[in-house]
Amino acid sequence: MSEKSKEEIRSEYEKDYLERLAKQGKIKSEQQTKPEISEEERTRKVEEAEKIQTESAVQVQEASAAKIQSEVDAKNKEDNLNKEVLSLIEELKGLKEELDREPTKRKVTKKKAAPKRKTTKRKVTKKTTRRSKSSKKRNTKRR
Tens of pLDDT, residue by residue over 42-84, are: 889 899 999 999 999 999 999 999 999 999 999 999 999 999 9
Q: Classify residue 15: in a domain, yes or no.
A: yes
Distance, in Å, from the CA atom of 143 to the CA atom of 101, rounded to the nearest integer, reads 97
Whether residue 27 contacts residue 21, with contact meaning beta carbons closer than 8 Å, is answered with yes
Q: Classify residue 22: in a domain, yes or no.
A: yes
SS3 45: helix
Q: What is the pLDDT of residue 70?
A: 96
Residues whose CB is less than 8 angstroms from the CB of residue 19 and which lie 6 or more positions away in sequence, other chains included: 32
Q: What percent of the chain has pLDDT over 90?
A: 35
How many domains does one find in the chain?
A: 1
What mean pLDDT is reported for the chain? 79
Q: What is the pLDDT of residue 81?
A: 96
Query: Residue 23's domain spans which residues?
Result: 7-36
Output phi, psi for 57, to 5 deg: -65, -40
Does pLDDT of 30 surpass 60? no
84: left (phi over 0), alpha (psi -120 to 50) or beta: alpha
93: left (phi over 0), alpha (psi -120 to 50) or beta: alpha
Distance, in Å, from the CA atom of 111 to the CA atom of 5, rounded to the nearest integer, reads 111
Distance separating the N- and C-terminal Cα atoms of the chain: 162
Q: Classify residue 25: in a domain, yes or no.
A: yes
Q: Classify residue 13: in a domain, yes or no.
A: yes
pLDDT category at 2 given cuts 50, 70, 90 is: low
pLDDT category at 10 given cuts 50, 70, 90 is: confident
Q: Which residue has the higher pLDDT, 119 or 85?
A: 85
Q: Classify residue 119: in a domain, yes or no.
A: no
Q: Classify residue 129: in a domain, yes or no.
A: no
Whether residue 22 contacts residue 28, with contact meaning beta carbons closer than 8 Å, is answered with yes
Q: Classify residue 78: in a domain, yes or no.
A: no
pLDDT category at 95 given cuts 50, 70, 90 is: very high
The pTM is what?
Answer: 0.37
Q: Which residue has the higher pLDDT, 76 or 1?
A: 76
CA distances from 85 to 38, 54, 64, 91, 133 (A): 70, 46, 32, 10, 90
Q: What is the pLDDT of residue 116?
A: 73
Q: Classify residue 32: in a domain, yes or no.
A: yes
